[in-house]
């Protein structure tokens, strides 16, 4: 059996990819599917960290409710808060493509849906000659692009879509995430329509600001809301 899935990327770091990946995990579980969520590389995290408050990979595992070994969800952790290539050089540890791709292939054989969260944006370097866009291609999954409501998001979103198309990466659609605890202003409220006009892609979901992000909240109180917010995700 080979699972379907998505590679979740963003217009930048800090746009809310992990929150969106967690929401998608619950969405597909609500549809009765076995979900595998993986963030194969993360930086700015203690390699020995087992706390979902500090590790995106741990957070996703708790939301999914899986008992997979931590290394299956995150193969490379670096304490240095930088792009993987810079962090690995700083700490004297090499990143190899084989284990990254093998971890994704293993999930494909045991899950109905696989969600792979990238790190930063598409051109973040992982090692020389290999960036997040290359990992997305090798995963075999189409992209879901996470963008945020903010001044500058039209440019960031259009640039990311342009680069993905230049690399012949399939894009299923865009998810707009509100990642600040404040009301959206008139300019931001108009960004959905403009993003669709500029990119020719659908905005499949708009996720409101989630004030208390805790794995248990995704599994319990947010389940009905997630179905509504993300109902257009195929």
Interacting residues of 198 by C-beta distance below 8 A, sequence separation 6+? 154, 157, 158
* 4-230 classified as CATH 3.40.50.300: yes
Entry pTM:
0.93
> Of 17, 39, 192, 232, which is the active-site residue?
39
The string of pLDDT tens digits covering residues 22-80 is 999 999 999 999 999 999 999 998 877 766 767 888 889 888 886 554 445 688 999 99
Query: Could you give the CA distance from residue 77 to residue 55 in angstroms, rounded to a whole number?
Result: 9
- Residue 128, classified by CB atoms within 10 Å of its CB into exposed (0-12), middle (13-18) or buried (19+), is exposed
- Residue 234, classified by CB atoms within 10 Å of its CB into exposed (0-12), middle (13-18) or buried (19+), is exposed
Would residue 39 show up in a list of annotated catalytic residues for this protein?
A: yes
The string of pLDDT tens digits covering residues 128-169 is 999 999 999 999 999 999 999 999 999 999 999 999 999 999
């Amino acid at each position: 059996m080979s699972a379907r899935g998505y590679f979740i990327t963003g217009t930048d770091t800090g746009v809310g990819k992990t929150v969106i990946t967690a929401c998608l995990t619950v969405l597909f579980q609500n549809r009765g599917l076995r979900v595998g969520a993986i963030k194969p590389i993360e930086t700015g995290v203690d390699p020995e960290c087992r706390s979902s408050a500090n590790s995106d990979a741990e957070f996703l595992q708790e939301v999914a409710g899986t008992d997979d070994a931590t290394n299956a969800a995150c193969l490379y952790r670096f304490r240095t808060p930088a792009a993987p290539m810079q962090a690995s050089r700083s700490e004297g540890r090499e990143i190899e493509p084989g284990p990254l791709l093998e971890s994704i292939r293993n999930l494909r054989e045991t899950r109905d849906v696989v969600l792979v969260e990238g790190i930063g944006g598409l051109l973040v370097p992982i090692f020389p000659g290999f960036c997040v866009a290359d990992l997305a291609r090798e995963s075999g999954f189409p992209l879901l692009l996470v963008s945020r409501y903010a001044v500058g998001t039209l440019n960031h979103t259009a640039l990311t879509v342009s680069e993905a198309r230049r690399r012949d990466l399939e894009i299923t659609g865009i998810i707009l995430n509100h990642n600040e605890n404040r009301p959206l202003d008139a300019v931001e409220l108009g960004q959905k329509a403009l993003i669709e006009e500029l990119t020719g892609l659908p905005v499949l979901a708009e996720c409101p600001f989630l004030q208390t992000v805790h794995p248990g909240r995704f599994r319990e109180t947010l389940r009905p809301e997630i179905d509504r917010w993300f109902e257009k995700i195929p």
